[in-house]
Amino acid sequence: MAINIICCRNIVLLSLSFKNLIIRDKKLHIDQLEERFNKANYFTTKDISEFYLSLDPLVKKTTINWRVYALVQKGILTRIGRGKFCLGSNNIFLPELNRKEKVIYDKLRSEFPFVQICVWNTKILNEFMQHQPGNFQIIVEVEKEVAQSVFYFLKELNYPVFIKPTEEILEKYLPTDKEAIIIKSLVSESPLQENGNIRTVTIEKLLVDIFSDTIIFSAQQGAELRTIFQEAFNKYTVNHSKMLRYASRRRKKENFQEYLSTIQIYGNKTDNAAKL
């Protein structure tokens, strides 16, 4: 008898919990929210507040904040910056690294154990490009003070390596039959991530770099650059604040923002409001 009472009580509690969950989900108005913002590249906390106030003028700010938190936890919204959101869950870009990049990284870590190193291959841009280049380069980024030392170290190991190459040097001497290494100075506070034990680029850093370094990434300019940006934003979660902060570190923020507006990735407030 006691067992039956306990079972019945548990069933009632589960039923009440499920009922409360349904009520909470109804108050999130997920379908209407998705319909409202599905054409927006991004929207803000203010936009979400205005959406909920349009449904219930008496809703409290704390309630809206809780709903935003719940929507993020459910994967309905993704934070892409401070007070900025997009629809959908996180899809993090993690570049593939092959054996050659891993060997180079390990050799550099062994020789320069206290230096910050970032390694990646321009081959990772292929998934965003319409026209595939015929050859690729391994990008090695290190702190400015040790860039020359890294260059000579890799040169002694018989790698085809360049440092701060000009357009003329790349045109004349860049090998087409194998992957060359290009040494770049690593900008302080660059947004990096780890793939295994190797430090490499994030999508935010990748986009800012190919926009900024037009000589090294000449194959990715013009209409191809637009395609890369559009594909990257369609496939992956891009943190707007992180990207602009890095563009600012590179002293490219104003030009970068203008470019984003031109290709309608992120418009200005008026443009964005029109999309909503």
Please state, in angstroms and as integers, the Cα–Cα distance from residue 22 to each residue in 30, 54, 60, 206, following that order: 12, 22, 20, 42
Q: Quick check: 185 pLDDT over 90?
A: yes
pLDDT digits (tens, 9 = 90+) for 190-219: 999 999 889 999 999 999 999 999 999 999
| Percentage of residues of the chain with pLDDT beyond 70 | 87
Q: How far apart are CA 44 and CA 28, in angstroms?
A: 16
Q: Of the segments 58-67, 77-86, 137-146, which one has the largest average pLDDT value?
A: 137-146
* Nearest of 155, 161, 150, 168 to residue 218 by alpha carbon: 168
What pLDDT, on the 0 to 100 scale, is given for residue 266? 58
Mean pLDDT computed over 36-59: 88
- CA distance to 35, 262, 273, per residue, from 87 (Å): 10, 22, 16
From the number of C-beta atoms within 10 Å of its C-beta (0-12, 13-18, 19+), residue 274 rates as exposed
How, if at all, do strands 192-195 and 180-185 pair?
A: unpaired
**Residue 154's pLDDT band (cuts 50, 70, 90):** very high
Average pLDDT over residues 219-247: 92
Domains along the sequence of the chain with CATH: 2-87 (1.10.10), 99-275 (3.30.460)
Alpha helices in the chain (DSSP H): 2-28, 30-37, 45-55, 61-73, 99-111, 147-156, 167-173, 203-212, 223-235, 240-249, 253-262, 269-275
Res. 156 pLDDT band, cuts 50 70 90: very high
DSSP 120-163: EEGGGGGGG-SS--S--EEEEEE-GGGHHHHHHHHHHTT--EEE
**217-226 core/surface letters (b: 16 or more CB in 10 A; e: else):** bebbeeebbb
- For residue 131, pLDDT over 70 is answered with yes
Query: Across the chain, what does the average pLDDT equal?
Result: 85
> Among 58-62, 74-78, 210-214, 264-268, which stretch is predicted with the lowest mean pLDDT?
264-268
Least confident of 55-59, 79-83, 168-172, 257-261: 79-83
The neighbouring-strand residues paired with 81 are 84
